[in-house]
Chains A and B, each alone.
Chain A
Amino acid sequence: MQKTFFRGLKEVFGRDRGAATGLTTRFQAFQAVLDGNNRTLEAMTEMGEKLGGGYLFDVNYTRGAYAALFSAISGSLDQFNLLTDDRYPRLAEILARIDTLVQRMLSGSASLSSPLVVSYPEITWDQAEEVGGKNYHLAELANALHLPIPEAFAITTTAFTVFLHHNGLEARLAGLAGADGDALAEVRSAILAGGFPEDLSAELAAALESMRARLGQNATLAVRSSAEEEDGDFSFAGQFETVLNVPCTVEAVQEAYKEVVASLFQADSVSYQRQLGYDLGKLKMAVGCVAMVEARASGVMYTVASGRERDRMSISAAWGLGKAVVDGMTDADLYTVAKGETPRLFSRRIGAKEQMVVNLGVSGIATVETPAAQRPLPCLGETEVIELARQGQIIEAYFKAPQDIEWAIDTNNRCYLLQARALRVEEPDETGSNAQAQATGYPVLLRDQGIVVQRGTIAGKVFILHHLDELEKIPKGSILVARHDSPHFVQAIPILNAIITDIGVPTSHMASICREFSIPTVVNTGSATSVLRHGQAITLQAGEGGEVVVYEGIVQGLLREERQTAAKLRELYEFRRQKYIMRYIAPLNLVNSLEQEFTPEKCKTVHDLVRFMHEKAVQALVANAEGQGRGFNRFFGGKSAVHRLSLPIPVQMLVIDLGGGLRGNPGGKITGFEAVASVPLRAVLAGMLAPGVWQNEGVALRGADLLSGMTRAADVPGGAAIMENVALASSEYVNMSLRFGYHFNMLDCYCSDTPRNNHIYFRFVGGAAAITNRSRRIQLMAQVLAEQGFALKAKGDLLIGRLSGLGRQEIEGILKQLGCLIGFTRQLDARLDSDEKVTVLARRFLQGDYRSSL
C-alpha cells in the first residue's frame, strides 16, 4: 500500500517540488511514527506479559526486551521530530530520563548524579526509589493530594551509597549474605563510628538551616528510616529505628542518621529482609527528617476496619505522641466510621488511656501516667473523626489500596498526617480446596470467547456501558461490559473489578492499563453486551492459557485460589525489581487528548510519549495537508491526479488521488461515486448520499445553497468561486475539508485492517446563525458523536472529536454516520430555536429519521 501511496504523492506533487517534498517527506515521517509507536506498544505488551508472573525469565530477557522497546520508541521520536520540525525538544529529555531510571533498575545501582538531600515539596513522581517508600508516600500526600503534613526533607539512597563509600563499607556489606550475629554487630559499630563526606554535610546543613528558618531555632525532628521498598509492597513496619526529638543541628542529625542506618543490620530486621528474599546488604536506605508535631493527641487510622468490614474504617487515638498507640502500650480510644461520600461516625469506644507519651524537648520523650481527669475524655471530637476519615478515603482512593495512616493533632488543633502505607487486610475464611469443583452447579454464560488481556478470577455485578459519560455512575466493584474498549475507562479503573468487551485488541491503550493495574480483562468476546445482563452477578475466570469462563453468580472457591497465588508472587524480590521497570513504561497519564494537560511536560512514561506523539503527528499531518489543500485549485486545475467528483447532491468536491483513492483510471476529469475506491472516503460519501439526509424539508436547491457555498461545476476551477471542498485520498486514508457557507468540516481518517493505526479526527466550526443556535447545533452533533464513542471537546461553535483504535468495519460504519451528520446538520443551526429540539433531533437522527422540523 505504502509504495503505491508514495508514487501517487509523487505524481501529484511532481510539478510543484516544494509542496511535493514537503508533504511526501512528512507523510513518510508520519507513517514511520505510527510504525515505531506500534512496535513500541507491541514490545510493551510483550514485556508486560512475560514479566506478569506466568513466565520464568531472567535479566537477560528483560534487558533484551527493553532494548527493543527503546529502539522502537527512539526511532519513532526521530521521525516525529522530523514531522514536527523539532517542535517538542522536551520529549527527548523525558525519554532519556526514563532510560536512566530503567537502566538503573536493571543494573541495580543508584546513580551518583541524583541529589543527596531533597525537601519534601521538591520530591517528584520519579524519585520513589531515591527517597524511599516512606518519604515518597508522605510527600505525595502533600504534593499530590494537598493534605497537611509537617515540614520535612529526605536524605536519599544516593546519600546512603555515598556514606558507605566514604567509610569503606561497601565490600563489607557485599560479603554479608550469610553473616551471623557477631558479623552484624561489627557492621553496626562500623556504621555508628562512620564519618560524613563534605558534600553530604553541606547539603544537610543547608536543609537544616531552612528548617530552622521556618520553624524556629528550637524545632526538633523525627529522624526515621525510609528504605527503598518500605511502605511499598512491604511495610517493614517497626523494623528500623526512629529517633525522636533530634535538634536541628548537623551533628545531632548525623548521629541520628547513623543510628537509623545501622538498624538495617539489627537481628529482627535482618531476618525480615531474608524472609522477603533480599540479599543482605543490597537494600538501600533513605532517611526522612520530619518536624516533630507538638501533639495533643495522636493515633492510627485503618481505612479498612477488617476483612469483614471493608466499608468501615477504624481510628485509634491516645493523648500525646503516637508511640503509645503504635506500640500498643495503652488502651486507646477506638472510633469506627462508615465510609461513603459523607463519612459517618459509626461507633465510639473511649479507652482508659492510663499512660501517655510526652515530648520532653531535647531531652527526649517519656511515658507518663495520664492525668486522671483526662483519661475518660475522648481524644477526638466527632468533627475531627470525620475530617480524618475524609482524608483517609482520599488517600485510599489515590493509592488504590487500603491504608494504614499515622496522624497527630497539635495543641492548636491542627491535624497532620505523619505516615501512610498499604494496609494488608486478611481475607476471612481461607478454606476451600478443589477450585474446579467449587464451580460446578453455576451456569456458564460465556466460555472460551475473546482474548485474555489480563488474567485473573474475579466476581462482581455487570455494568453495561452505553456512553462514556456513564463512567461516573459505575458502582464500585462492578464488572464493566462494553461494546468496545476505550482509554477513557482508565478513570473508572480504580473502582472496577474487571472489564469485558465485545470488540477490542490486546495491544490497545486500555489493555496496557488493565495489565498495569492487574484488572482482569477480556476483549473481543463478540457478544458480552448481549449475553450478559446489566446488574447480573457474575464470576469471570480469565486463565493464563487464554481460557475464559463467565459463570452466573459468585463462585467463592475460585476467588480464593486466585488471591493466594498473587500474594505469594509479590514476595519475590528479584521479580518485583524487574517488574518495577514497567512503572516507567506502561502507565498512561495522558488520557484526554483535548485537555490543557496534553503537554510534553505531562509525559512520564513510554506509553505517554507514544500517545503524545501519535496525537501530535496526526495534528501535524492534518495541518500540513490542509495547507497544501488550499493551494490545490491553483496547482492542479487540469492534472490527471485531481478529479472532480460528480455527486447526486449539490456538493462539488475535488479528489486528489494519492494512490488507490479512485478506481481504475477514470477517463475524464469528472468522476462519480462509483469510482471512489478509498475506503474511508467512500464510507463518508455513502453517508452523505444516504436517502433523506440531503433532502430535508425541501431546502435543497434554493438560493440558500449558493449562500451555503456549494459550488457548481461551472464555477470550478477558476472564476469567482473558491473551491473549498477537497479530499486527499488513498486506499486507506482520507483528509477532507468541506466548507458549507460559514461553517467548516474537517475530517482526517486512517482506516486499515490494523485497528491500532486507525483514527478519525473530526472538527466542525462556524455557522451563520446566532451563536446560541450554532452552539445548539454543536450540542446535537456532540450527542450523536458521543454515541459513537468519540472523545469530544466542544466550545461555542467549535467541536473536536477524536476516536481511534477501532477495526476497519467499525470505522466504516462510523464514517457513514458522520457523512449523514455532515449532510443533516449543514443548515440546521437556523432551525434550532430551542434546547429541546437538540435532544429530540439527535435521538431521531440516531434512529435514521433525518427530518429537521418537529
Chain B
Amino acid sequence: MAKHSIMVIDDEKIVGDMAKLSFEQDGYEVETFLNGESALERLKEKRFDVVVTDLKMKGVDGLEVLRSIKKLYPGVKVIMITAFANLDVAIEALRDDVHDFFPKPVKIKELKASVKRALGEE
C-alpha cells in the first residue's frame, strides 16, 4: 500500500520541521510549506490525504487554504492549528469544514491521533 501523504503549512520553520520528523517516523510522506501561496501551488499538482495548516499567516491564511482545498478536493481532511487560542468565533464558523482544531503548542501525540482519525485508521 502506498504511504499516506500529509501537507504541513506553517510560517514558522520549526513547526513544519518537527511535524515532518514526527510524521515520517510513523511512515507518512510529508511535505512542508512556509506560506499559503506555495502550498496552493503544490495542491494544483498533488492531492494530499491530510492537510495540517496554521490559521494565521501573512498573505494567504489558513482559512483561504481551507476554502481552496474544499473546492479542489472536497474529501480531504484539514486540521487547523493556531497560536491564538481564543478564536471561538472562528472555530464555530469552521466547525463543519475543519476536521480538527488545535491551539499551539499542540501535543504531537494528539495531532497524530487526529491524523489517524482523518484517515479512518482509528
Contact across chains for B14 and A575 when beta carbons are under 8 A apart: yes
Contact across chains for A56 and B18 when beta carbons are under 8 A apart: yes
The CA of A501 and the CA of B107, in the complex, are separated in Å by 26
Contact across chains for A544 and B109 when beta carbons are under 8 A apart: yes
Which residues of the other chain, B, contact A61 by a CB distance below 8 angstroms?
Answer: 83, 104-105
Which residues of the other chain, A, contact B25 by a CB distance below 8 angstroms?
Answer: 565, 568
**B45-82 Cβ-contact flags toward A at 8 Å (1 or 0):** 00000000000000000000000000000000000010
Which residues of the other chain, B, contact A50 by a CB distance below 8 angstroms?
Answer: 105
Which residues of the other chain, B, contact A54 by a CB distance below 8 angstroms?
Answer: 107-109
The CA of A345 and the CA of B15, in the complex, are separated in Å by 50
Contact across chains for B108 and A55 when beta carbons are under 8 A apart: yes
The CA of A481 and the CA of B78, in the complex, are separated in Å by 46
The CA of A544 and the CA of B109, in the complex, are separated in Å by 8
**A182-222 Cβ-contact flags toward B at 8 Å (1 or 0):** 00000000000000000000000000000000000000000
Contact across chains for A58 and B12 when beta carbons are under 8 A apart: yes
The CA of A60 and the CA of B15, in the complex, are separated in Å by 12
Asked if A545 meets B15 with Cβ closer than 8 Å, knowing A58-B104, A61-B104, A565-B25, the reply is no
- Is A574 interfacial (CB 8 A cutoff)? yes
Contact across chains for A56 and B108 when beta carbons are under 8 A apart: yes
In the complex, the chain A residue whose C-beta lies closest to that of B52 is A56
Contact across chains for B83 and A56 when beta carbons are under 8 A apart: no
- Is A57 interfacial (CB 8 A cutoff)? yes
Whole-angstrom distance between the Cβ of A722 and the nearest chain B Cβ: 61
Q: Could you tell me which residues of chain A, from 539 to 589, have a CB within 8 Å of some CB in chain B?
A: 544-545, 565, 568-569, 572, 574-575, 578
Which residues of the other chain, B, contact A59 by a CB distance below 8 angstroms?
Answer: 12, 14
Contact across chains for A57 and B17 when beta carbons are under 8 A apart: no
Say which size band chain A's interface belongs to: 10 to 19
Whole-angstrom distance between the Cβ of A658 and the nearest chain B Cβ: 41
Q: Is the interface of B mostly helix, strand, loop or mixed?
A: helix
Contact across chains for B21 and A56 when beta carbons are under 8 A apart: no
Q: Could you tell me which residues of chain A, from 49 to 76, have a CB within 8 Å of some CB in chain B?
A: 50, 54-61
- Is B111 interfacial (CB 8 A cutoff)? yes
Asked if A56 meets B109 with Cβ closer than 8 Å, knowing A61-B104, A574-B17, the reply is no
**A802-822 Cβ-contact flags toward B at 8 Å (1 or 0):** 000000000000000000000
Which residues of the other chain, A, contact B17 by a CB distance below 8 angstroms?
Answer: 277, 572, 574-575
Contact across chains for A56 and B13 when beta carbons are under 8 A apart: no
Whole-angstrom distance between the Cβ of A379 and the nearest chain B Cβ: 44
- Is B39 interfacial (CB 8 A cutoff)? no
The CA of A59 and the CA of B21, in the complex, are separated in Å by 18
Contact across chains for A57 and B13 when beta carbons are under 8 A apart: no
Which residues of the other chain, B, contact A60 by a CB distance below 8 angstroms?
Answer: 83, 104
Contact across chains for A57 and B104 when beta carbons are under 8 A apart: yes
Q: Could you tell me which residues of chain B, from 1 to 46, have a CB within 8 Å of some CB in chain A?
A: 10, 12-15, 17-19, 21, 25
Whole-angstrom distance between the Cβ of B10 and the nearest chain A Cβ: 7
- Is B119 interfacial (CB 8 A cutoff)? no
Which residues of the other chain, B, contact A575 by a CB distance below 8 angstroms?
Answer: 14, 17-18
In the complex, the chain B residue whose C-beta lies closest to that of A578 is B14
Contact across chains for B105 and A57 when beta carbons are under 8 A apart: yes
Which residues of the other chain, A, contact B15 by a CB distance below 8 angstroms?
Answer: 56-58
Which residues of the other chain, A, contact B10 by a CB distance below 8 angstroms?
Answer: 58
Whole-angstrom distance between the Cβ of A107 and the nearest chain B Cβ: 14
Q: Could you tell me which residues of chain B, from 67 to 122, have a CB within 8 Å of some CB in chain A?
A: 81, 83, 104-109, 111
In the complex, the chain A residue whose C-beta lies closest to that of B10 is A58
Which residues of the other chain, B, contact A578 by a CB distance below 8 angstroms?
Answer: 14
In the complex, the chain A residue whose C-beta lies closest to that of B108 is A54
In the complex, the chain A residue whose C-beta lies closest to that of B24 is A568
The CA of A627 and the CA of B83, in the complex, are separated in Å by 52
Q: Which of A545, A565, A572 contacts B14 (CB 8 A)?
A: A572
Whole-angstrom distance between the Cβ of B38 and the nearest chain A Cβ: 14
Which residues of the other chain, B, contact A568 by a CB distance below 8 angstroms?
Answer: 21, 25
The CA of A61 and the CA of B83, in the complex, are separated in Å by 7
The CA of A565 and the CA of B18, in the complex, are separated in Å by 12
Whole-angstrom distance between the Cβ of B45 and the nearest chain A Cβ: 20
Which residues of the other chain, A, contact B21 by a CB distance below 8 angstroms?
Answer: 568-569, 572
Which residues of the other chain, A, contact B81 by a CB distance below 8 angstroms?
Answer: 56
Whole-angstrom distance between the Cβ of A541 and the nearest chain B Cβ: 15
Asked if A572 meets B109 with Cβ closer than 8 Å, knowing A58-B12, A59-B12, the reply is no
Contact across chains for A574 and B109 when beta carbons are under 8 A apart: no
Whole-angstrom distance between the Cβ of A239 and the nearest chain B Cβ: 22
Which residues of the other chain, A, contact B108 by a CB distance below 8 angstroms?
Answer: 54-56, 544
The CA of A545 and the CA of B14, in the complex, are separated in Å by 22
The CA of A644 and the CA of B15, in the complex, are separated in Å by 65
The CA of A572 and the CA of B105, in the complex, are separated in Å by 17
In the complex, the chain B residue whose C-beta lies closest to that of A543 is B109
Contact across chains for B14 and A57 when beta carbons are under 8 A apart: yes
Contact across chains for B105 and A55 when beta carbons are under 8 A apart: yes
**A25-60 Cβ-contact flags toward B at 8 Å (1 or 0):** 000000000000000000000000010001111111
Whole-angstrom distance between the Cβ of B29 and the nearest chain A Cβ: 17
Contact across chains for B104 and A572 when beta carbons are under 8 A apart: no
Whole-angstrom distance between the Cβ of A43 and the nearest chain B Cβ: 14
Contact across chains for A58 and B83 when beta carbons are under 8 A apart: yes
The CA of A785 and the CA of B101, in the complex, are separated in Å by 53
In the complex, the chain B residue whose C-beta lies closest to that of A64 is B83
Which residues of the other chain, A, contact B18 by a CB distance below 8 angstroms?
Answer: 56, 569, 572, 575
In the complex, the chain B residue whose C-beta lies closest to that of A544 is B109
Whole-angstrom distance between the Cβ of B83 and the nearest chain A Cβ: 5
The CA of A116 and the CA of B13, in the complex, are separated in Å by 31
Whole-angstrom distance between the Cβ of B61 and the nearest chain A Cβ: 15
Q: Which of A55, A59, A277 is the most central at the interface, judged by chain B CB atoms within 10 Å of its CB?
A: A55
Whole-angstrom distance between the Cβ of A58 and the nearest chain B Cβ: 4
Whole-angstrom distance between the Cβ of A758 and the nearest chain B Cβ: 31
Which residues of the other chain, B, contact A569 by a CB distance below 8 angstroms?
Answer: 18, 21
The CA of A529 and the CA of B40, in the complex, are separated in Å by 57
The CA of A568 and the CA of B25, in the complex, are separated in Å by 10
Whole-angstrom distance between the Cβ of A545 and the nearest chain B Cβ: 6
Which residues of the other chain, B, contact A545 by a CB distance below 8 angstroms?
Answer: 109
Which residues of the other chain, A, contact B109 by a CB distance below 8 angstroms?
Answer: 54, 544-545
Which residues of the other chain, B, contact A57 by a CB distance below 8 angstroms?
Answer: 14-15, 104-105
Which residues of the other chain, B, contact A58 by a CB distance below 8 angstroms?
Answer: 10, 12, 14-15, 83, 104-105
The CA of A60 and the CA of B105, in the complex, are separated in Å by 10
Whole-angstrom distance between the Cβ of B69 and the nearest chain A Cβ: 20
The CA of A545 and the CA of B17, in the complex, are separated in Å by 22
In the complex, the chain B residue whose C-beta lies closest to that of A46 is B105
**A254-282 Cβ-contact flags toward B at 8 Å (1 or 0):** 00000000000000000000000100000
The CA of A59 and the CA of B14, in the complex, are separated in Å by 9
The CA of A60 and the CA of B106, in the complex, are separated in Å by 13
The CA of A54 and the CA of B13, in the complex, are separated in Å by 16
Which residues of the other chain, B, contact A572 by a CB distance below 8 angstroms?
Answer: 14, 17-18, 21
The CA of A61 and the CA of B15, in the complex, are separated in Å by 11
The CA of A285 and the CA of B48, in the complex, are separated in Å by 41
The CA of A565 and the CA of B23, in the complex, are separated in Å by 12
Q: Which of A55, A58, A60, A574 is the most central at the interface, judged by chain B CB atoms within 10 Å of its CB?
A: A58
The CA of A60 and the CA of B10, in the complex, are separated in Å by 13
Whole-angstrom distance between the Cβ of B34 and the nearest chain A Cβ: 11
Whole-angstrom distance between the Cβ of A318 and the nearest chain B Cβ: 41
Which residues of the other chain, A, contact B107 by a CB distance below 8 angstroms?
Answer: 54-55, 544
In the A-B complex, the 8 residue pairs with the smallest Cβ-Cβ separation, listed nearest first, are: A57-B105, A574-B14, A58-B12, A55-B105, A50-B105, A60-B83, A572-B17, A56-B106
Can you sample 14 A-B contacts with CB below 8 Å? A54-B107, A54-B108, A54-B109, A55-B105, A56-B15, A56-B111, A58-B12, A58-B105, A60-B83, A61-B105, A277-B13, A574-B17, A575-B14, A575-B18
Q: Knowing that A50-B105, A58-B12 are A-B contacts, what are 5 other residue pairs whose CB atoms are under 8 Å apart, sorted by A's residue number?
A: A55-B105, A544-B108, A569-B21, A574-B13, A574-B17
